[in-house]
Structure 1
Amino acid sequence: MDLKLRPNLYYLKVKGLSVEVTKPWIDDKKYKQDRLIEAKYEAELARRFLEDGLFRNAAGKAFQAWKALLASLSVDYIQELSKYFKGKRKMRDGRVVNYVEWIIALMPTSKMSNVAQILDNLLGNNIEAYTDIAIKLHEFQYNGLDKSGEISRYTSIEFVKMDLEKLLKAIEKFLASSPP
């Protein structure tokens, strides 16, 4: 199948096939569904990498899974999030969207903690704590272990494994309650 990829759109590669992920300002329900599917597949890959001892790869995939899940959870709370993320954002194609929708669409790492804090206040479920773990794993993906704890927060692979297991179980729990 030959897909024509359009510029300025987000694509998810699933089982060798590129799938266009709808933006929340176009169709929020489809966007949520797309991100849940992304979370599911990224978590499955993270689990495989963990089992194969590819810890940095597992950390990266677990982070991506949580990021997608956080974005999907955010869709239902756009009104609440818009109280904190005000204004507009100009897209590359010239279109202007609400800043909160832009954040939900991209879920930049720099905004994940803020979004998680807001959602955790609304929902509980340790969303903020899991987001902190995801960000630590993201740092580990790039920096690896550091016995001194200066460059990476992980000084032992055992701590990485514990956090990977904890985050992957949380993702599975969230996906079970809101299946793609």
Structure 2
Amino acid sequence: MGEGAVPQVKDLQGYINFRLEEAIVELNLAVELLKRGYSRNASQKAFMAWKAIISVLVSINLDKMPRNEKEKEWYTKAGFLAPTTGLNGIARRLEELGYKDVVGTNSLALKLHRYAYNGLYRGASDYADREDAIDDLKVLIKRIAETLAELGRSKEAKEVLDKLMRL
């Protein structure tokens, strides 16, 4: 395997389970950090949970995602990892396959990713104030939890939402 090459997943179901667990852990960390007042750190954790969810959805649909041989090669080598630079295209493709509001949720996740890195710096942030970012963060956490429930992780999703409601 060449330098920088990504190994292909041999145990796809094991990988899916791992990424689901990762999403749950990251989402719980996001809620905990938000509770402690660390909105930027919480935003980054929620973004990582979103990337894990996208990776799960791609992996579940790995045979349906590519439209041609070039895309097939990309999805099997890197696309299943849900790289940040590929998220917009992946989100559009998942919506084409019937998933609802992936593009909108992805846009929200990317806004919060920028907020995590840039804060409220004018010109580099999508937010005028911290409360606006926190409101969006809560929406993203709810959407990820709903997706977790749809993926058969209702108990964990309910626990995250219960923690979020106590903020």
TM-score, normalised relative to structure 2 = 0.81
Task: Tell whether 2:34 aligns with 1:34.
Answer: no
Against the structure 1 CA distance between its residues 105 and 77, is the aligned structure 2 distance closer, same or farther, given a 3 Å change threshold?
Answer: closer
Q: What residue ranges of structure 1 are gaps of 5+ in the alignment?
A: 1-7, 11-22, 89-97
CA distance in 1, matches of 2:119, 2:59: 33
TM-score, normalised relative to structure 1 = 0.75
CA RMSD of aligned residues (A): 2.3
Within the candidate set 30, 43, 48, 2:32 is matched to 48
CA distance in 1, matches of 2:71, 2:105: 28
Residue 177 of structure 1: aligned partner: 150
CA distance in 1, matches of 2:138, 2:71: 38
* Counterpart secondary structure, 1:57: helix
Q: Which has the higher helix share?
A: 2
Task: Tell whether 2:141 aligns with 1:168.
Answer: yes
Residue 58 of structure 2: aligned partner: 74
Report the alpha carbon displacement of residue 45 of structure 1 after superposing the two structures with TM. 0.2
Q: What residue ranges of structure 2 are gaps of 5+ in the alignment?
A: 154-167
Contact kept in structure 1, 2:79 and 2:86, CA below 8 Å? no
CA distance in 2, matches of 1:178, 1:81: 18
Alignment of 1:53-68 (within 5 A): 53-68=37-52
Alignment of 1:23-172 (within 5 A): 25-83=9-67, 86=70, 98-146=73-121, 148=122, 150-172=123-145
Residue 163 of structure 2: aligned partner: none
Q: Which has the higher strand share?
A: 1
Per-residue CA shift, 1:53-100, capped at 9, x if unaligned? 101100100000000000001112222322167268xxxxxxxxx321
Per-residue CA shift, 1:35-57, capped at 9, x if unaligned? 01000000000011111110110
What is the aligned length?
Answer: 150
